[in-house]
């Protein structure tokens, strides 16, 4: 009985969002000038951010999962800091680091590089806030891989890289995909750090969450359309995460049956 109000709080606002979005409102929102650029910018920057997280976060997660040094606890805490920090604090921290008067601002300016209020700033903010979701999931997935299987591959002549690609990655793939999906969804919905560090410039830094924020002041229909797109993406990610383990288990069973 006590869980009822909480479940209602989770479900009713989403139902209200869907109920408020009539076909006419959606048509007007999708046809607005802000919808297309904000959608494309969000997709483009979040995909680039995800690529950077996979490229840099996968080796870090593997090191965290296979190293028994005390420094791992410190690194793990550092990776998790963006999860507990308010996004506004993250945005201010980025400004203090990469802004003109920041720690690295003058050095970057001497090379002709300016990060704040650019599309690159959007990507940087997304990577910072979303990386923990991928690294945590990837480290947990790597930790579950059978070390004996990797040892057998090494004794059979496989190099460390070959063992990682042929043994570790397939074994950890469901967890890696789940973490990547969560990180991508988090990057797609990033708002606070982006607003403070990258600004809200249409076509340059105005992502979908920022477009929703702007549209609420002028045209609620556009805000509803953007909000529904984001909600739809989140629902698809959630459904995909729920089905991924079953799909992977089924395909592994088929493959093992064919091999035998």
pLDDT tens for 178-218 read 899 889 989 999 999 999 999 999 989 999 999 999 988 88
The pLDDT tens digits for 4-34 are: 888 888 888 888 888 877 777 777 778 888 8
Q: Taking the domains of the chain in order of start, what are their residue ranges?
A: 34-248
Among residues 152, 159, 93, 143, the alpha carbon closest in space to that of 121 is found at 93
Question: Which pLDDT value is given to residue 166?
Answer: 78
Question: Which pLDDT value is given to residue 97?
Answer: 93
Using a 10 angstrom Cβ sphere, with 0-12 exposed, 13-18 middle and 19 or more buried, the burial of residue 2 is: exposed
In this prediction, the residues of the chain whose per-residue pLDDT falls under 70 are 1, 148, 241-242, 244-246, 248-260
Question: Which pLDDT value is given to residue 126?
Answer: 96
Question: Which pLDDT value is given to residue 236?
Answer: 80
**What is the domain class of 34-248 according to CATH?**
mainly alpha
């Amino acid at each position: 009985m006590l869980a009822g109000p909480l479940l209602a709080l989770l479900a009713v606002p989403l139902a209200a969002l869907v109920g408020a979005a009539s076909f006419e409102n959606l048509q007007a929102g999708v046809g607005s000038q802000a919808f297309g650029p904000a959608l494309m910018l969000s997709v483009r920057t979040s995909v680039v951010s995800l690529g950077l997280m996979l490229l840099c976060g996968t080796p870090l997660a593997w090191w965290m999962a296979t190293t028994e040094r005390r420094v791992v606890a410190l690194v793990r805490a550092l990776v998790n800091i963006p999860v507990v920090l308010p996004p506004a604090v993250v945005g201010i921290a980025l400004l203090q680091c990469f802004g003109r008067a920041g720690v690295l601002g003058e050095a970057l300016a001497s090379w002709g590089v300016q990060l704040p209020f650019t599309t690159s700033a959007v990507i940087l903010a997304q990577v910072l806030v979303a990386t923990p979701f991928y690294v945590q999931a990837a480290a947990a997935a790597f930790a579950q891989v059978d070390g004996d299987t990797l040892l057998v591959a090494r004794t059979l002549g496989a190099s460390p890289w070959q063992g990682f690609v042929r043994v570790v990655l397939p074994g950890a793939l469901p967890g890696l995909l789940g973490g990547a999906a969560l990180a991508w969804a988090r990057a797609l919905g990033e708002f606070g750090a982006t607003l403070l560090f990258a600004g809200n410039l249409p076509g340059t830094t105005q992502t979908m969450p920022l477009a929703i924020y702007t549209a609420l002041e002028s045209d609620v229909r556009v805000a509803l359309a953007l909000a529904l797109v984001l909600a739809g993406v989140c629902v698809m990610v959630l459904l995909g995460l729920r089905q991924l383990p079953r799909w992977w288990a089924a395909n592994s069973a088929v493959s093992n049956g064919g091999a035998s």
